[in-house]
Structure 1
Amino acid sequence: MKVNVKGTIIPNDDQWIYDLFDIDATSPAKVSKGITAAAEKGEPLEIYINSGGGDIFAASEIYSAIREYSGDVKIHVVGLAASAASVIACAGRSDISPTAQIMVHNVSSVASGDYHDMDKMSENLQKANETIANAYITKSGMTKEKALEIMDKETWLTADEAVELGLIDEVAGSKNVKSQLVAAYCDIIPQNVIEKMKAERADKKITAQARLDKLKEGYKNDKTGNA
C-alpha cells in the first residue's frame, strides 16, 4: 500500500483548508487512513516522502503510527525530507533517491511577551529539540550530542551522507524511485488565514443551522395550522 507524505506536515484540523486550495499537505489522519487500508489488505506499507516539514507534533504522530504498523514497512525519500519530515523518514527501513536530500535543524516557533515568556519559549524549544533528536538517535545509534549538533548547524545531507550518518539505510537505484526536488522547505498557509477560514466556516455552519431551524419551525407551524 503506497502512502504519500507530500507537502507540508499539518494538524488534522487544517487538512481541509489545504485541500480547498489544492496545496499538497499531509496530516496524521491522512496517513492513518492509508495504514488502516494496508492492514485490512495485509499489504506492506510503502511510505514515499517529499516534504519540507511542518508541524512537529503532527510529524511525531505520523512517525509513531508508522512504527506501530505490524506489517512490513519501507520508507522512500524521493525528493526532500526536511525538518519534521526527516523525523518521519526515520520511522522504519528506508532508502533515498540519489538526487534527494535530508535536512535536520532546530525546532522553531513564534512567540510574544516579556522576557519571562521568551525564556520559557527558549526552554520549551530546547526540550523539543531533545525530543526530536530521539528519532535520529533511535534510527542511527548516534549520540545525543551528535544529534543536537547536526540540528544546531541546520545540516543538509546528500543521499550518500544520509546513509553514512545512519539516518537512511541505503541509496535507491534511480530506476526504482522517481525523484522530485522542491524549491522551498514547505508551502505553509499563514496561521491567520487558517484561523479566518475556520471562523468563516463556523459562521456558515451557524447560519445554515439557523436557516434549518427556521424551516423546521415554519413546517411545524404549517402542520399545526392545517390540523
Structure 2
Amino acid sequence: MSNRDLPKASFNVRGDLRSVITPKALERWRPEVQAKDGAGDDAASISILDVIGQDWSGNGVTASRISAALRNIGKRDVVVNINSPGGDYFEGLAIYNTLRDHPAKVSVKILGVAASAASVIAMAGDEVQIARAGFLMIHNTWIVAMGDRNALREAADWLEPFDHVAVDIYAARTGLEPKAIAKMLDRETWIGGADAVAKNFADDFLPADAVSEDAKQAAAGQALKAEFRIDEILARAGVPRSERRNLVQAMKGGTRDAAATDTPGAVDVLDQVKDLLDRMKAT
C-alpha cells in the first residue's frame, strides 16, 4: 500500500511524562542484528538500529535526525532498516509522520525487532519487509508517571488518545478491525515474521542473506541494555533525568562515590543495580 493512504499522527507532548521501553522488548532486542553490507539496494538508506528518542548520552534515533537524513537524500527512494526495542513513543510518532510525508518511495526492512514506537515507524513504509525470525511488538503507550491518584488518573486520560492513534495506523496498514487491534494493544502482542505477513503488518519476507550479525556489537549491546535497565530503575525511584545521566556515567567509570544523589531513597536504589554494573564493566 502507499504510505500516502496512512493517517497522519496528530499529538501533543507533555513534558512531565516520559515514554519508556518495556523490559521484554529490551530483553528480546539483539543490537548485533544489522543490514548486510551490499545487500542489493540502490536506494539511499537510513538505519534505525537504536532506541527511539535521545538517551542520557545523546544517542538514540530522533525525528530531527531522520528529517536531516531525508533532506540530504532529497526526492529519492529510501530504504529504512529497523532493529529497535522502541523507546519514546511520541518521538516515534514524529518519525512516522516524517517518513509518511517523504515524496518518494519508502521501503522498510525489519531486520530483527521493531517494538513499540519502532513498530509505528515501520508502518510508514510503502513496502514493508520483515525477517522470518523478526518480530513486531505492539502495545498501549507506556510511560513513567508519579503522583497521587488524581495525577495518575489525569495521565491515563491523557494517554488514551495516543492508543487510538496507534489503532488507526495499524488498522489502516493491515485492514484488521480496529477493535481487534485495540485488544492486541491491550495485551502487548508479539507478532512473528510469518504472522506479520499473514496479517498484513508486512508485505513480504526479507531475503535470508539481507541480515548479518556483528559480534563486536553484541558485547556492546549487553552493556547498553544494562544502562537502560539502570536508567529505568532510577526513573521509577523519582531521580530526575539529568541526575540519572550523571549517575550512570559515574557508575560506568567505576567511581561509585562520584554517583552521589540528593534524591531521597536513591542510595538504596543504587544497590539494586550492582549486578548490572558488574555486567557493564565486564564488557
Quickly name the TM-score band, shorter chain normalised.
Answer: 0.7 to 0.9
Other structure's SS at 1:157 match:
strand
Instruction: Quote the offset at 1:145 in angstroms.
Output: 0.6
Length-normalised TM-score, structure 2: 0.60
* Cα deviation digits, residues 50-83 of structure 1 (max 9, x gap): 0000111110110011010111110000010001
Change (3 A) 1:117 1:16: closer
Of 53, 57, 74 in structure 2, the residue corresponding to residue 17 of structure 1 is: 57
More helix by share: 1
Contact 2:138 2:189 in 1 (8 A): yes
Other structure's SS at 1:148 match:
helix
Q: Paired residue for 1:85?
A: 118
Contact 2:56 2:245 in 1 (8 A): no
Instruction: Quote the offset at 1:198 in angstroms.
Output: 8.4
Residues 46-85 of structure 1: pairs in structure 2 closer than 5 A = 46-85=79-118
Residues 1-227 of structure 1: pairs in structure 2 closer than 5 A = 1-10=44-53, 14=54, 17-19=57-59, 25-39=60-74, 42-92=75-125, 93-178=127-212, 187=228, 189=231, 192=239, 194-196=241-243
Change (3 A) 1:119 1:197: closer
Contact 1:15 1:27 in 2 (8 A): no
Q: Paired residue for 1:218?
A: none
> Quick check: which has more Rg, 1 or 2?
1
Instruction: Quote the offset at 1:116 in angstroms.
Output: 1.8
Change (3 A) 1:193 1:119: closer
Instruction: Quote the offset at 1:101 in angstroms.
Output: 0.7
Aligned AA (2:71): T
* Cα deviation digits, residues 10-52 of structure 1 (max 9, x gap): 0xxx368234xxxxx211111112111111xx43111000000
Runs of 4+ in 1 over 4 A off after TM superposition: 179-184, 188-193
Distance in 2 of aligned mates of 1:178 and 1:48: 12
Contact 1:97 1:179 in 2 (8 A): no
Contact 2:86 2:114 in 1 (8 A): yes
Structure 1 runs not aligned, ≥5 long: 20-24, 200-227
Instruction: Quote the offset at 1:111 in angstroms.
Output: 2.0
Contact 2:56 2:241 in 1 (8 A): no
* Cα deviation digits, residues 99-120 of structure 1 (max 9, x gap): 1111111112122222222221
Contact 1:46 1:73 in 2 (8 A): yes
Distance in 2 of aligned mates of 1:85 and 1:33: 19
Change (3 A) 1:62 1:174: same
Distance in 2 of aligned mates of 1:179 and 1:90: 24
Structure 2 runs not aligned, ≥5 long: 1-43, 247-283
Distance in 2 of aligned mates of 1:198 and 1:154: 29
Instruction: Quote the offset at 1:7 in angstroms.
Output: 1.4
Length-normalised TM-score, structure 1: 0.74
Other structure's SS at 1:18 match:
coil
